[in-house]
Structure 1
Amino acid sequence: MNPPAVLQTPGFAHYSVSWSPFYNTRLALASSANFGLVGNGRLHIASLVPGAGGLPTIQLDKFFESQDGLYDLAWSEAHENHLVTGSGDGSIRMWDIMLDKLPIGAWQEHTREVFSVDWSNIQKDTFVSSCWDGSVKVWKADRPRSAVTLQAHQSCTYQALFSPHQPDLISTCSTDGTLKIFDLRSPSYATGPGTNSFTNPLNAAVLTVPASASEVLTLDWNKYRPFVLASGSVDKMVKVWDCRMVRMSEGQVGGACESSLPGHEYAVRKLQWNPHKADVLATASYDMTCRIWNTTPGPQPQLRYIHDAHTEFVVGCSWSLYEEGLLASCSWDSRLNVFRP
């Protein structure tokens, strides 16, 4: 197997990586100085290019500085050069990668770190963010304030993602060990005399899945099976949930666990379903590995591949949308790897 293509960004630990939905060789990295604990952040734009002997290499095209660490990013689905980032100071910024230095938009409503952002691939002017204060906000790129606020969890909401199948469904995961699904067509705010719909949003989850006894750090919607999600948690487990199969547990309504995938040695920080195959899942873990799984239910978990070229926590993974089987992983070792399992 060929070695991975590598990009080093000295001094900046990675938190998230994503392939462009418009260009098959372009990637973006959200990074932070001092592992995101203190200091500034940096948004890196990189490209996969042919190298010596026909093997691909990664070139750094440009970078943008931010005043606080960057924890996540999402490419616009409407404009090929735009993306948004979530920051440790609670801000969200939009960048045009063809311009220099300054963002072209900024929003500041979250009260703590913005840990995830996601752009809807159906309503292409809309993105969502989640925060350590438990809130989730839905934004329109051309509006100065959020369109919807959900108090999704009472503790840190690590990730919020739009369904790739239904434009009004959002899934979230949290410190509280649950996955939740919200339907934006349901009432989102408190109503009646003396209530303030902006500052007192209701928890409007239509489904709550008790996914783990520990913190759930990451989730993803399956691209081919509309109500199937995967979760990764601090207890090292990867689980696949069928949310059409409702079950009752300790007074909660939740989906049925279709597969459990043990194998990681530490917390699972990020996962993503393959955009080309319904049963293939990539996971990134604090055990310094990125793993590929076949999730078809069976008596034994089907681990297909372990990528162990990183030397620190692996916190991001992203499948190429254009080249089947091409995967990017990023880590606190300031190293971006692109490889084909």
Structure 2
Amino acid sequence: MRSTFDWNDSLFDVTWSENNEHVLVTGSGDGSLQMWDTANPIGPLQVFKEHTQEVYSVDWNQTRGEHLVVSGSWDQTIKVWDPMIKDSISTFRGHESVIYSTIWSPHIPGCFASASGDNTLRIWDVKTGGARIIIPAHQAEILTCDWSKYDQNLLVTGAVDCTLRCWDLRNIRQPVHHLAGHSYAIRRVKFSPFHASILASCSYDFSVRFWDVSKPDSVLETVEHHTEFVCGLDFSSHIPGQVADCAWDETVKVYTPACLTVSH
């Protein structure tokens, strides 16, 4: 099945529903979120419009029993949505710059992380409505973050300073891992769903790198198969080792890097 949807502004992010294989949500440059149904591709099921600037990040909750969407915007706010209700159920303020990344914890209900141009990583609690933890994670804009799929206290950040840093929420005074190798800003980072210590990053240096945080010399492989900025990246949750990435060169690559064809 193939579906095509049109919107009247740029779309910066997309997230699938966890309880309906046909439904997804996108975030737009006009400050709105759109909910689409691939079984009914005539237009959005719902449009959520509260942000006043670009919606740069959307994520659908994957923890048990919760069906909430979190959005991060250039208007410096984060909003949580129940897709069945037109208005947001919570708004979170505290970041002092644009928000580039918002992602739910895969372990802790009602908990999500955000990364911002104010150089901080923040951990939020929907129930209390505030930031539980604020980490000055880099001395540069943080463009991306992700949770470990195996450790509820471990997150990774990627920034304009070309580095990745892994953080243990039980001790945030310094990162537990500092990964250097990219030569331009890191646009997206993802932990593997199949290997506890493996993560991947993509960058404006046209490359994708695979890392093993359990090893001191952790760069496993560098993949350079794009001719422009690499902006999107994800591991398949169904096929171990399979990766998809996309770039400004207008291509999507689906592949299994050599470093993941052997057992870890």
Question: How would you bin the TM-score normalised by the shorter chain?
Answer: over 0.9
Instruction: Give the superposed CA RMSD.
Output: 1.1
Point out which structure has higher relative CO (alpha carbons under 8 A, 6+ apart).
1
Task: Pick one of 308, 321, 324 that aligns with 2:224.
Answer: 308
Larger of the two Rg values belongs to structure: 1
| TM-score (normalised: structure 1) | 0.73
CA contact 2:135–2:172 (8 Å) conserved in 1: no
Task: Pick one of 104, 128, 146 that aligns with 1:162.
Answer: 104
Q: What is the deviation of 1:185? A: 2.1
Give CA deviations for 1:261-319 in whole Å, capped at 9, x if unaligned: 10001000001000011100010100011111111153x3x111111111111011010
Q: Report the structure, 1 or 2, having the larger strand content.
A: 1
Q: What is the deviation of 1:336? A: 0.3
Q: What is the deviation of 1:238? A: 0.7
Counterpart for residue 276 of structure 1: 194
Matched, 1:224 2:113: no
CA contact 1:152–1:172 (8 Å) conserved in 2: no
Corresponding letter in the other structure for 2:190: Q
Matched, 1:98 2:39: yes
CA contact 1:240–1:260 (8 Å) conserved in 2: yes
- Distance in 1 between the 2:35 and 2:211 partners? 34
Corresponding letter in the other structure for 1:238: L
Aligned positions of 1:125-140 closer than 5 A: 125-140=67-82
Corresponding letter in the other structure for 1:67: N
Give CA deviations for 1:161-203 in whole Å, capped at 9, x if unaligned: 11000111111110010101011221x3xxxxxxxxxxxxxxx
Task: Pick one of 146, 150, 153 that aligns with 2:95.
Answer: 153
Aligned positions of 1:319-330 closer than 5 A: 319-330=235-246
4+ residue runs over 4 A deviation: none
| TM-score (normalised: structure 2) | 0.94
Counterpart for residue 260 of structure 2: none
Aligned length: 256
- Distance in 1 between the 2:107 and 2:215 partners? 23
The answer for unaligned runs of 5 or more in structure 2 is 258-264
Q: What is the deviation of 1:205? A: 1.1
Corresponding letter in the other structure for 1:132: W
Identity %: 39
Query: What secondary structure does 2:3 align onto?
Result: strand
Matched, 1:240 2:175: no
- Distance in 2 between the 1:143 and 1:100 partners? 21
The answer for unaligned runs of 5 or more in structure 1 is 1-46, 48-60, 189-203, 248-255
